[in-house]
Structure 1
């Protein structure tokens, strides 16, 4: 699977796609399938959230410990993936 993503970068396929179009496949294939994060629906808690609200906006992906009750979340334990664009994050994951 990583080889396919790497090839998509090298062949320009990823660059030809709208960033939002690759959110779901990247999240499911790389973050969940390979790195083992869990999305909502896998129990009472999960470790990855898409379009997570923070500071009056939303981040593409938030990594941390999440539950149905936001007040029980520990923001200092969450890593907000906000400033890094998804394409840059994909390249970082694939380059090791």
Structure 2
């Protein structure tokens, strides 16, 4: 029964399963690429902010940089956690 033919489409169920798995892999790949793009944007923004803060005065900038760095780190952790949950919520048969 593994090679049962689909009467209407004329293709085997194995071919249909392969196409479905391929489609799911492509969707997962697109999700990962979008997540990487978002992370790269976050990292670029963090880099720009830290360069600007380095040019400030040394005394006032230190406190704001550490607070800003904590906020950036929290945002990054939350984003990564969300991405991992999204990937885990849509497992594939790969």
TM-score (norm 1): 0.25
**Greater CA radius of gyration, 1 or 2?**
2
TM-score (norm 2): 0.26
Higher strand share: 1
- Structure with larger RCO (C-alpha < 8 A, sep 6+): 2
Higher helix share: 2
